[in-house]
Amino acid sequence: MADSPSRIERPLSPHLSIYRPLFTMVMSIVHRITGGALYVGTAILVWWLLAAATSPGAYDLFSAVAGSWIGRLILLGYTWALIHHALGGVRHFIWDFIHGFGAKERVLLAKATLAGSVALTVIVWVIALALKG
């Protein structure tokens, strides 16, 4: 069979390195990053379940790690990522029903997602710490 001709170099459409970062664009990237972080976070939660299913020693080890300052920082980050990704998902649902595409609405939805994620994270942790210390 004859050699196939070499691939034609076609022009690429403008990509991330071309555009000035926009708020909505950064929020879209953050949605993907939080999704990736939660992918790992689920494994941590399953470690917790497995520890509870294994032995008191295994559970104590998990509790010690989760209760340390770095453990709490990771759990705080997980909480924020979970809420941000959930609210980002709601934003996608709104778009799926062909709403919220206007210039002002897009920015408003992005701001609401960001502000909502921070506010709800604080609320969840205040409740958890008030109940459990």
Which residue ranges make up the site for another protein (CB under 8 A)?
32, 35-36, 38-39, 42-43, 45-46, 49-50, 52-53, 56, 59-60, 67, 79, 82, 86, 89-90, 92-93, 96, 124, 127-128, 131-133
Q: Identify which of residues 87 and 110 has a Cβ nearer to another protein in the complex.
A: 87
Longest dimension (CA), the chain: 74
Label residue 98 left, alpha or beta by phi (over 0 means left) and psi (-120 to 50 means alpha): left
- Residue 106: CB minimum distance to another protein, A: 20
Burial zone of 97 (CB within 10 Å; 0-12 exposed, 13-18 middle, 19+ buried) = exposed
Q: Identify which of residues 45 and 73 has a Cβ nearer to another protein in the complex.
A: 45
